[in-house]
Amino acid sequence: MKANKFILPIIVGIFVISFFSIFIVKEVNQAIVLQFGDPKRIILKPGLNFKIPFIQNVVFLDKRILNLDTPPEEVIASDQKRLIVDAFARFQIVDPLKFYISVGNERVARSRLSTVINSRIRNVLGQQELQTLLSKDRTKQMTLIQEGVNTEAENFGIKIVDVRIKRADLPQANSEAIYRRMQTEREREAKEFRARGAEMAVTITSTADKEVTVILADAEKQSEIMKGEGDGLRNKIFADAFGKDPDFFAFYRAMQAYEKALIGGDTSLILSPDSEFFKFFGNIKHKSSQ
């Protein structure tokens, strides 16, 4: 009975010691074994490991590629244009010991990296004009930023995998001013287009009126020519008819004269009975005396 009383505490003690002596490093982690705060071992491979209980402790660090979203930063370009830049980075802890000694933990590392990235962004983009930052050359600038950040991040045991700009916006006041300037420019262009349109309309109308006048003049000219040709042809026909039978032609012309003079109208004619006008009516004087 006395032996059993000692065995149970021994088993419990062994279990407690084992519990505090064994630790597991996962595939996504790397570990640093510390003894009273001093690093003793670096464990990079996953698996089961041991430490001295109550004397040593383990700090686990992520060895995956991590994302860092930096706060928006105002950048002044070389042409004094202001720009709000929102960037993000991807980094990896490649030297756990240097990382632990320099920054201690991931929270501090993110804060230090944000400061470094924003400082590098201001330094690189501040040497370029705004137009360059919005063009294809921005890729070159991002490469320079990444190289500069990597140089400083090596002191933290960190490797910068990538640095990108998510957004690059103008400040609100600048955006409104640019919008108003663009609106004024568009209104000016619209007025210019309307003026050109009105000028073109006047030119087209004037040209059309001129063409109409020319067409009408040509048509009137052709009409007069055709009318003259018709009158000539008519006179020729009359002349030919007169030449063939002068008496009949004289009679036909007299009938036309009688029609115009005697039929209708209020005109009164006082003529002598033996007038040449009545020669086709016979001897009117002799008939009136009978």
What integer pLDDT is reported at residue 156 of this predicted model? 93
Q: What is the pLDDT of residue 174?
A: 54
* Maximum Cα–Cα distance across the chain: 196
Residues of the chain with pLDDT under 50: 1, 283-290
Q: What is the pLDDT of residues 8-39, one digit of tens each?
A: 677 766 677 777 788 889 999 999 999 988 88
Gap between the Cα atoms of 142 and 140, Å rounded: 5
| Domains of the chain, first to last | 2-62 (no CATH), 66-170 (3.30.479.30), 246-289 (no CATH)
What is the pLDDT, as a whole number, of residue 274?
60
Determine the pLDDT at residue 33: 92
For the entire predicted model, the pTM comes to 0.54
Written in H, E and C, the secondary structure of the chain is CHHHHHHHHHHHHHHHHHHHHEEEECCCEEEEEEECCEEEEEECCCEEEECCCCCEEEEEEECCCEEEECCCEEEECCCCCEEEEEEEEEEEECCHHHHHHHCCCHHHHHHHHHHHHHHHHHHHHCCCCHHHHCCCCHHHHHHHHHHHHHHHHHHHCEEEEEEEEEEEECCHHHHHHHHHHHHHHHHHHHHHHHHHHHHHHHHHHHHHHHHHHHHHHHHHHHHHHHHHHHHHHHHHHHHHHHHHCHHHHHHHHHHHHHHHHHCCCCCCCCCCCCCHHHHHHCCHHHHHHC
**Which residues are bridge partners to 181 per DSSP?**
none
The predicted structure's pLDDT at residue 67: 93
- pLDDT number for residue 92: 94
Residues 6+ apart with CB under 8 A from 131: none
